[in-house]
Amino acid sequence: MTPINTATNKAGKAITVGIAPLAIAMTPNGKTAYIANALSNTVTPIRTATNTALKAIKVGIDPLSVAITPDGKTAYVANTGGIDINGDTVTPIRTATNTALKAIKVGIGPIFVAITPPAPCSRRSR
């Protein structure tokens, strides 16, 4: 994976991640990027301040997409399962510790995952 400095539009030093990095999601605070590595069955967190890859997180088979909740506490990874019909899952990752939680069994071949934005706060007028 190669970071791009958006102020200069220049490529930085390549960062080693897993095999076949196909998707990226950024925490709302911009401090960590999560890369889904399809052929490694991992997600690699990257500290954006230093462009440093952290320890890869083992997820399900063929992770193709990743999305992060608006509060930044959880990343969800869609794992297509490849040819394993029992491997179709979504893996939650606790971002504070970069640990995978129990996979959620879903329908065949999940490719994308999306997060619903939080409902707006409402106040009663008095």
User: Residues 101-122: pLDDT tens digits?
Assistant: 999 999 888 999 999 887 776 6
Please, which contacts does 41-48 make with residues 24 or more away whose CB atoms are closer than 8 Å?
A: 41/79, 42/18, 43/75, 43/77, 43/93, 44/1, 44/17, 44/18, 45/95, 45/98, 46/1, 46/15, 46/17, 48/3
Tokens of 44: 């690699």
Question: Among residues of the chain, what percentage have pLDDT more than 70?
Answer: 93
CA-wise closest residue to 74 among 91, 60, 51, 59: 91
Is the CATH code 2.60.40.10 the one for domain 10-105? Answer: no
Q: 92-104: per-residue pLDDT in tens?
A: 999 999 999 999 9
pTM of the model: 0.89
Domain boundaries along the sequence of the chain:
10-105
How far is C-alpha 70 from the chain's CA centre?
13
